[in-house]
Structure 1
Amino acid sequence: MRGLETAFVTGATGLLGGNLVRELAARGVRVRALARSPAKAALQFGGLAGVEIVEGDMLAVPGFAAALAGVDVLFHTAAHFRDSYTGGDHWDKLRATNVDGARNLLSAAYDAGVRRAVMTSSIAVLDGPRGAVINETMVRRVDRADDYYRSKILADEVAFEAMKAHSDLDITLVLPGWMHGPGDAGPTSAGQVTLDFINRKLPGIVPATFSVVDARDVARALVASAERGRRGERYLAAGRHMTMADLLKVYEQVTGVAAPKGKIPPLLLLVIATVSEAMARLTGKPTLLSLATVRLMLREAERSRFDHAKSERELGVTFRPVAETLRDEIAWFRARGRIA
Structure 2
Amino acid sequence: MHTVFVTGATGLLGNNLVRLLLERGLVVRALARSQAKARAQFGEIPGLTIIEGDMQDVAGFAPALTGCDVVFHTAAYFRESYGGGKHWAMLKRINVDATAELIAASYAAGVRRLIHTSSIAVVNGPRGALINESMTRDPRDADDYYRSKIQSDAVVQDFLRSHPEMFAAFVMPGWTHGPGDLGPTAAGQFTRDYLKRALPGIPPGTFSFVDARDVAFAMAAAAGKARRGEHYLAAGHHIAMPDLVQIYQQVTGVPAPKRKIPVAILWPIAASQELVARITGRPALLSLATVRTMRAEAERTRFNPAKSHDELGLTFRPIAETIRDEVAWFKKQGMV
| TM-score, normalising length: structure 1 | 0.98
289-298 vs 45-54, which moves further: 45-54
Q: Does 1:126 align with 2:126?
A: no
Report what 2:203 is aligned to: 206
Report what 1:313 is aligned to: 310
- For 1:137 and 1:150, how far apart are their aligned partners in 2? 17
Structure 2 residue corresponding to 1:248, chosen from 242, 245, 250: 245
Report what 1:325 is aligned to: 322
How far did residue 165 of structure 1 move?
A: 1.0
- For 2:84 and 2:189, how far apart are their aligned partners in 1? 17
How far did residue 304 of structure 1 move?
A: 0.2
- For 1:204 and 1:166, how far apart are their aligned partners in 2? 51
How far did residue 44 of structure 1 move?
A: 2.0
Q: Does 1:166 align with 2:163?
A: yes
Once the two structures are superposed, the pairs formed by residues 42-81 of structure 1 within 5 Å of their partners are 42-81=39-78
- For 1:62 and 1:282, how far apart are their aligned partners in 2? 36
Q: Does 1:283 align with 2:280?
A: yes
Structure 2 residue corresponding to 1:146, chosen from 139, 143, 147: 143
Report what 1:220 is aligned to: 217
- For 1:68 and 1:288, how far apart are their aligned partners in 2? 37
Please say if residues 179 and 329 of structure 2, whose CA atoms lie closer than 8 Å, have aligned partners that are also in contact: yes
Aligned-partner SS, 1:242? strand
- For 2:62 and 2:208, how far apart are their aligned partners in 1? 35
Unaligned runs of 5+ in 1: none
Structure 2 residue corresponding to 1:269, chosen from 266, 269, 277: 266
Q: Does 1:82 align with 2:79?
A: yes
| TM-score, normalising length: structure 2 | 0.99
Report what 1:9 is aligned to: 6
Report what 1:196 is aligned to: 193
Please say if residues 80 and 283 of structure 2, whose CA atoms lie closer than 8 Å, have aligned partners that are also in contact: no
Q: Does 1:98 align with 2:99?
A: no
Q: Over residues 299-338 of structure 1, what are the superposed CA-to-partner deviations in whole Å (9 max), with x where a residue is unaligned?
A: 0000000001000000000100000000000000000111
Structure 1 residue corresponding to 2:104, chosen from 107, 129, 132: 107
How far did residue 271 of structure 1 move?
A: 1.1
Please say if residues 16 and 216 of structure 2, whose CA atoms lie closer than 8 Å, have aligned partners that are also in contact: yes
How far did residue 274 of structure 1 move?
A: 1.1
Q: Over residues 24-60 of structure 1, what are the superposed CA-to-partner deviations in whole Å (9 max), with x where a residue is unaligned?
A: 0000000000001111112222221111100111010
Q: Over residues 162-202 of structure 1, what are the superposed CA-to-partner deviations in whole Å (9 max), with x where a residue is unaligned?
A: 10110000000000000000000000000000000000011
One-letter identity of the residue aligned with 2:4: A
One-letter identity of the residue aligned with 1:132: A
Number of aligned residues: 336
Q: Does 1:185 align with 2:186?
A: no
- For 1:218 and 1:281, how far apart are their aligned partners in 2? 35
Q: Over residues 247-270 of structure 1, what are the superposed CA-to-partner deviations in whole Å (9 max), with x where a residue is unaligned?
A: 100100001111011111111000
- For 1:23 and 1:112, how far apart are their aligned partners in 2? 24
Q: Does 1:22 align with 2:19?
A: yes
Structure 1 residue corresponding to 2:298, chosen from 298, 301, 304: 301
One-letter identity of the residue aligned with 1:203: P
One-letter identity of the residue aligned with 2:13: L
- For 2:236 and 2:114, how far apart are their aligned partners in 1? 23
- For 1:103 and 1:286, how far apart are their aligned partners in 2? 28
Once the two structures are superposed, the pairs formed by residues 228-239 of structure 1 within 5 Å of their partners are 228-239=225-236
Aligned-partner SS, 2:85? coil
Q: Over residues 112-151 of structure 1, what are the superposed CA-to-partner deviations in whole Å (9 max), with x where a residue is unaligned?
A: 0000110000000000001100000001010000000000
Please say if residues 41 and 182 of structure 2, whose CA atoms lie closer than 8 Å, have aligned partners that are also in contact: no
One-letter identity of the residue aligned with 1:285: R
- For 1:281 and 1:118, how far apart are their aligned partners in 2? 37
Percent identity, please: 61
